[in-house]
Amino acid sequence: MEILQIIIPKRMKDQRIDAALTEMIPDYSRSKIITWIKSGDALINNKTFKPKDKVNGNEMVCLKVKQKNNIQWLPEKINLNIVFEDNDIIVINKPFGLVTHPGSGNWSGTLANALLHYDSHLSSLDRAGIVHRLDKNTSGLMVVSKNLKSQKFLVEQLQNHSIQREYSAIVYGHMISGGSIDEPIGRDPKDRVKQAILTNGKQAKTHYRVIDRFKSHTHVKAILETGRTHQIRVHLSHVGYPLIGDPMYGGRVRFPKKASQELKDELINFQRQALHSKKLTLKHPVTGETMTWKADLPDDMQELLNILKKYDS
């Protein structure tokens, strides 16, 4: 823990104090500063205050800067498929089956454990530098920050939806054309493990386009405008095109009429949702350069497409 003392200048008079502090200590996000204010880790004259309080000028703010202690997240030697790395970010092509970070039921063997082994400096950052996540059984591209400045910049890009994330999905149903789904998502009140379309949920928007059509299935490109938990899975299921291999939102396995045994076997044995983060575009947190990475479809999804082309065309 580090204690900072910040004098807020007169020029900021009448600004919100959370906004003023964000400008004064740019290494930390506004949401992080608000959290510290609400938890009593920021004091003026030994008294707490609210994020929306106005600045008078010359206030001395005493701030306890707390970084997450990842000591309970142990480094583990797990292979990483690193697509790009420099002094500020790491771009990883995550395999399906790898949990992003420790949590209930998965306290080890995660991407975070692998990152801590790969670079011990990441232990000083929230979530070992991970700024967004992929579901355990979703494969593809993720970006990880290597320092506070990069972490703040990437989180802000995610919040203002300027990071572009494109996915490949293989779904049940013959999709005629693409579209957009703008439906709020929240935790399912009947099943806390699931997400659902809820009127009081968080705003969520997904754009989707057809890549290839089969008689009873479709290969889809999905582009996230927001990044809610299970968003693509929930949204595509909501409009009648659930992902192959997704029992949580897709229900039972569906067979086309007169399906071959090879196609039936492939659909039965496809053991994860057919979803892959294939393209990632962002502005580099230091250079400002727009950078794009692509990751080919993994073998299991490519084999599924090959069988669909053979038996469902």
- Which pLDDT score is estimated for 66? 64
Identify each DSSP E strand in 22-163 by its residue range: 42-44, 60-65, 82-85, 89-94, 139-145
Q: What is the CATH number of the domain that holds 103?
A: 3.30.2350.10
79 and 55 co-located in one domain: no
- Which pLDDT score is estimated for 1? 58
290 and 306 co-located in one domain: yes
178 and 230 co-located in one domain: yes
Instruction: Select from 148, 181, 207 the last residue of a domain.
Output: 148
177 and 298 co-located in one domain: yes
Domain presence at residue 85: yes
Instruction: Select from 13, 48, 65 the last residue of a domain.
Output: 65
- Which pLDDT score is estimated for 8? 86
Domain presence at residue 216: yes
Q: What is the CATH number of the domain that holds 23?
A: 3.10.290.10
Q: How deeply is 251 buried, as exposed, middle or buried, from its count of CB atoms within 10 A (0-12, 13-18, 19+)?
A: exposed
Domain presence at residue 192: yes
Domain presence at residue 154: no
The dihedrals phi and psi of 21, each to the nearest 5 degrees, come to -65, -35
Domain presence at residue 168: yes
With a threshold of 0.85, does the pTM exceed it?
no
Domain presence at residue 155: no
Under-50 pLDDT residues of the chain: 69, 71
DSSP state of 234: H
98 and 182 co-located in one domain: no
- Which pLDDT score is estimated for 313? 87
> Is 246 among the residues known to form the active site?
no
222 and 272 co-located in one domain: yes
The dihedrals phi and psi of 209, each to the nearest 5 degrees, come to -135, 150
Domain presence at residue 159: no
HSE (CB half, 13 Å, CA atoms) of 81? 13
- Which pLDDT score is estimated for 150? 93
- Which pLDDT score is estimated for 67? 58
Q: Which amino acid is it at 240?
A: G
56 and 191 co-located in one domain: no
- Which pLDDT score is estimated for 7? 85
| DSSP states along 160-186 | TT-SEEEEEEEEES---S-EEEE--EE
168 and 133 co-located in one domain: no
Instruction: Select from 114, 148, 182 the last residue of a domain.
Output: 148
Active-site pick, 18, 126, 135, 300: 135
Domain region containing 39: 2-65
Interacting residues of 85 by C-beta distance below 8 A, sequence separation 6+: 91
105 and 230 co-located in one domain: no
- Which pLDDT score is estimated for 30? 82
192 and 272 co-located in one domain: yes
**Total number of domains constituting the chain:** 3
181 and 291 co-located in one domain: yes
Domain presence at residue 157: no
298 and 168 co-located in one domain: yes
